[in-house]
Amino acid sequence: MEKLYEGKAKIIYPTDDPQILLTHFKDDATAFNAQKKGTIAQKGVINCRISSTLFQLLEQQGIATHYIDQVASNQMRVKAVTILPLEVVVRNIAAGSLCRQTGLEEGTVLPFPLVEFYYKKDELGDPLLTRDRVLILNLASLNQLEQLQSKALAINTYLKTFFSDCQITLVDFKLEFGLDAEENLLLADEISPDTCRLWDQSQTDDPQGRVLDKDRFRKDLGNVESAYEEVQTRILSQIELTTRNE
Ligand code: TMP
């Protein structure tokens, strides 16, 4: 099948319906703007399953997403959207670039969720934006920026509690949004251990052992596959538990 677009972790294919695209989740993993490359066995299948599950949960909370359905273990059908060239990052706890850029100590609980916008532009290394830079570069309108901020916070409120029920701390995560033909803003891309920092609450005193996300790959911590599997298992068990109790 002819590809419409190939990114670092996913391939997008067209379908017979121009409003619908097929997302194929790859096992390929990259870090540091693709300077580090590798594969994580079963990642495509796991990330597709986790993303599908989280998109469905968010839809149930009234958050519009591009998700339609999962059609294979590593393939999802999504609504065709024009992706905004922005990465919307929400942080609850200091880690990663926030610590590097501000000197905050890793693990510092932030007094309120921090929403940040990064420019999705590999040539520039995805720099941090300000509100006015977004407007000057025409990356989104003021109204869209406000919508992005409030959607990101609503998603954070829901996911923080959901992950906590899985005994996982949602440290931070990255979202992407797209516009459909009617200019509605839909949550797009994926939400997975590739795009979140997730810390195991049962290993709070072990800064490396608690990591259940792509930082295991970025920092060569080992046991990457089993961490991704653990996240999937906990999410699916939690959903089974809540549906059984309904
Ligand atoms: P950062 O601390 O490196 O800025 O990352 C913040 C969050 O965004 C973290 O959960 C990882 C995620 N992220 C991506 O999904 N893609 C990226 O390219 C980067 C740099 C971070």
195 pocket-lining for ligand 1 (C-beta < 6 Å): yes
User: Would you say the CB of residue 173 lies under 6 angstroms from ligand 1?
Assistant: yes
At 43-72, the pLDDT tens digits run 999 999 999 999 999 999 999 999 999 999
Give the span between the Cα atoms of 239 and 242, in whole angstroms: 5
Helix (H) or strand (E) holding 78: strand 75-79
Q: Is 175 in the pocket of ligand 1 (CB under 6 A)?
A: no
Q: What is the pTM of this model?
A: 0.97
For residue 100, the ligand 1 atom closest to its alpha carbon is 2
pLDDT, tens digit, 9 for 90 and up, residues 130-171: 999 999 999 999 999 999 999 999 999 999 999 999 999 999
**Residue 29 forms beta bridges with which residues?**
38
- Provide the pairing of β-strand 196-200 with 5-6: unpaired
